[in-house]
Amino acid sequence: GVYAAKIGRAVTITPTVENEGEAAYSWTIDDEVVSTARVFEYVFNEEGRVYVALRVENRAGYDEKEARIDVNRLAPPVISLIVPPTGLYVLTGREYTFAPEVQNGENARYEWYLDDSSVPVSTEKDYIFMPTQPGDCSLRLTVTNEDGTAEKTVAWTSSRPASRSSPPPTWPPRW
């Protein structure tokens, strides 16, 4: 995997290991063992790309994996919110929860804006929305931390649920 870290801030990697009974762990950077703990926690003091190798060994054998850590001077937020490229199609009167994944979102400020409003409709990490009228709409999330700001906009079209003005067909037909 690839991890991002900020200079002076601890990065933590918790591996998922199968058949680990009485295992010994060894984390190395540049062929030097830097930790023998199950969970890797390390503070980098220089910017750059670092490769960390994990070796897990027990009586049955061993396995090794490598991870890349990009150490940066700044760690602005990065928003991941999966939305179809054509936007969302939603029904009025139903609740929808927007729950983004945000890297570097610790201690960040979250602001959700509806359409072109300059006043946030929410300052929580997740946003629950229930459209009441059909039409086009947009929702913008702004996340700000000490190192920068990220923004993501989601567009959607809402419509009324199909109405049932006549009873559903029955079988067999009644004559």
DSSP state of 147: T
Q: How many CB atoms lie within 10 A of CB 108?
A: 19
Full-model pTM: 0.66
**Residue 174: band (very low, low, confident or very high) from pLDDT cuts 50, 70, 90:** very low
Length of the chain: 175
Sign of the CA dihedral 74, 106, 4, 25?
A: positive
- Of the candidates 138, 169, 149, the one whose C-alpha atom is nearest the C-alpha of residue 105 is 149
pLDDT at 12 over 70: yes
Average pLDDT score over residue span 5-33:
92
For residue 167, name the pLDDT band (cuts at 50, 70, 90).
Answer: low
